[in-house]
Amino acid sequence: MQLHTLKKVTIVTEDSLKNELKRKICELGASGFTCREVQGYGSRGARSDAFASNVEFEVICPEAVAHAILTFVSHHYFEQYACIAWLSDVQVVRGARYAEPVGTTP
């Protein structure tokens, strides 16, 4: 089976940024994303109840898009929000699927 190497960006940040980030990820050229509610603890204290919870985004995309997303996140969120983000390599079956921007914004 032919496998294609792509990048996966993972972002864990505050729930209140969810809508903005959904839109931004698509605008920056991703073909889609997965997001879910998560809990955690870090430099900004516990983020695990109904009043302070986190959201985790996973985006599989070409390297250029991954860099654009990471740049946006680091410029806009790192300083003032609870936010971490990282990049990893992933192998997928249908490589072309992730190369095309989704076009619409959620």
Partner 1 sequence: MDIELIGRSLRDNLLTPIPMCFALGIFSKLIHGGIKIPKEFYYAISIYLLMSIGIIGGHELAHEYQAHGVTTIWKPALMTLLLGCLTPLSAYAVLRYIGKLSIADAAGIAAHYGSTSAVTFIVANDYVGNQNVAVDAYLPTLVTILECPGIAIALIIGAVGMSMQKRAESTARSNGLDDDDEHKGKLWEALHEVLTGQSLMLMVGLLVIGFISTLVMPADKFQVFEQFFYNKNMIFRGALCIFLLEMGLVTGERLGDLLKVGPFLVAFGIIMPLIHGFVGCYLGKMAGMSLGGCAVLGAIVSSASYIAAPPAVRLTLPEANPTLSMTAALGITFPFNIAIGIPIYFWMAQMVGAPMVAKEAKPPSLMVPAVSKPAADKAGEAKPVEAKH
Instruction: In the chain, count H helices and then E strands.
Output: 2, 6
Q: Which two tokens stand for residue 59?
A: 């985006």
> Please, are residues 61 and 98 in contact by the beta-carbon 8 Å criterion?
yes
With contacts defined by CB under 8 A, how many residues of the chain interact with partner 1?
14
Which residues have CB under 8 Å from 24's CB, separation 6+?
69, 72
Site for partner 1 in 75-104 (CB under 8 A): 80-81
Shortest Å distance, C-beta 46 to partner 1: 7
- The sign of the CA dihedral 79, 25, 22, 10 is negative
Shortest Å distance, C-beta 80 to partner 1: 4
Shortest Å distance, C-beta 57 to partner 1: 17
By rule CB under 8 A, what string of x and - marks binding of each residue 10-39 to partner 1?
----xxxx-xx-------------------
Q: Is residue 43 part of the contact set for partner 1 (CB under 8 A)?
A: no
Helix orientation angle between 18-27 and 63-76, rounded to the nearest 10 degrees: 140
Residues in contact with partner 1 by CB under 8 A are: 14-17, 19-20, 45-46, 49-52, 80-81
